[in-house]
Structure 1
Amino acid sequence: MLDKSDWAHLIPHQGTMCLLDGVVRWSADAIHARTDSHRRADNPLRSDDVLRAVHLCEYGAQSMAVHGALLAREAGEAASPGFLVSLRGVSLAVARIDDLQGPLDVFGERLMGTDSSWQYAFRIEHAGIEIASGRAAVMLAGAPGMGNRE
């Protein structure tokens, strides 16, 4: 397992906004991360002392960021910052997640990746049961239409 200290500096999500705790495994096409951040009182996505299931989309998006950063590092490069531009086919099986005991397993599968965009399918499980899934698209900084945002 790759500890957060190995890769957190490679992504834009810092401090408590870095929601993933570790990477269980990853390959050129997929990532499996794990986290307990959904139970933390300082989770920045909480409102009214509740963390709603819709925020699992951010967990999926962060798995994309970590995966892209690990791929870039392996190639001797730095990943370009990305901007989430689309969520599709999102399915949520629970209303909230702050009351779930035990870690979340976050899976991302790269469906397509170019110099300007990425598309992933994501799935989040709790205790082996799928609680969220969907697809996400990210446009990378410097991509046509995004301008240079460095």
Structure 2
Amino acid sequence: MIPRQDIFDLIPHQHAMCLWDEVVEWDASRIRLRAHNHRDPTHPLRSNGRLRAVHLCEYGAQAMAVHGGLRGRDSGEAVRPGMLVALRGVDLRVARIDDLPGVLEGEAEVLMEGGSSQQYAFRIHHAGVLLAEGRAAVVLADAPPMPR
């Protein structure tokens, strides 16, 4: 298991904007994570006291980013920052998530990748029930220079 503090080292999202609390398991093609923050009244994506299901797309995108960071760290190569450019086939099965007890569980899986882009599928569950799923495309920037 990889704790939240280690996730901070993998993605640009910090503090409350880092949505995942732990990585449960991962390999070269997929990742599973958990989050407990969806009920937090100070959640940065809340509006009018609610955290809407559309924000599960951000949970999915951050799952992809954590996976990319782990893959980069594992290979010893610099992680290439990515920019989310498209969401496809998104299916939201609830209207809001701030009223759900317990943890959110997410997974992301690489579907395709090329030299400068990746496509992932993501799924977010709560208590074994699918809340959201979709596909996301990311364009990768040049890798930052490796420290000397």
TM-score range, shorter chain: over 0.9
Matched, 1:3 2:6: no
- Deviation string 1:107-129 (CA, Å, 9 cap, x unpaired) is 10111123311100000000001
In structure 2, stretches of 5+ residues that fail to align are none
- The Cα shift of 1:41 comes to 1.6
Structure 1 residue runs of 4 or more that deviate by more than 2 Å after TM superposition: none
1:91 matches 2:108: no
Structure-2-length-normalised TM-score: 0.93
TM-score, normalised by the number of residues in structure 1 = 0.92
Q: How far off its partner does 1:10 sit?
A: 1.7
1:30-81 CA distance string (max 9 Å, x none): 0000001111122111001100000000000000000000000001022111
Question: Which residue of structure 2 aligns with residue 44 of structure 1?
Answer: 44
Aligned-pair Cα RMSD in Å: 1.4
Question: Which whole-Å CA distance do the structure 1 matches of 2:11 and 2:62 have between them?
Answer: 9
One-letter code aligned to 2:117 = S
Aligned length: 144
Corresponding residue of 1:80: 80
**Aligned residue for 1:138?**
138
Instruction: Answer yes or no: is the 8 Å Cα contact 1:10–1:78 preserved in 2.
Output: no
Looking at structure 1, the residues matched to 141 and 82 of structure 2 have their Cα atoms a distance apart, in angstroms, of: 6
Cα distance in 2 for residues equivalent to 1:115 and 1:10: 20
- For residue 8 of structure 1, report the CA deviation from its aligned partner: 1.5
- How far, CA to CA, are the matches of 2:49 and 2:77 in structure 1? 40
How many Å separate the matches in 1 of 2:78 and 2:41?
32
For residues 78 and 18 of structure 2, the distance between their equivalents in structure 1, rounded to whole angstroms, comes to 18
Partner of 1:69: 69
Task: Provide closer, same or farther for how the CA distance between residues 93 and 12 of structure 1 changes in structure 2, counting only shifts above 3 A.
Answer: same
Q: 1:26 deviation in Å?
A: 0.2
Q: Percent identity?
A: 60
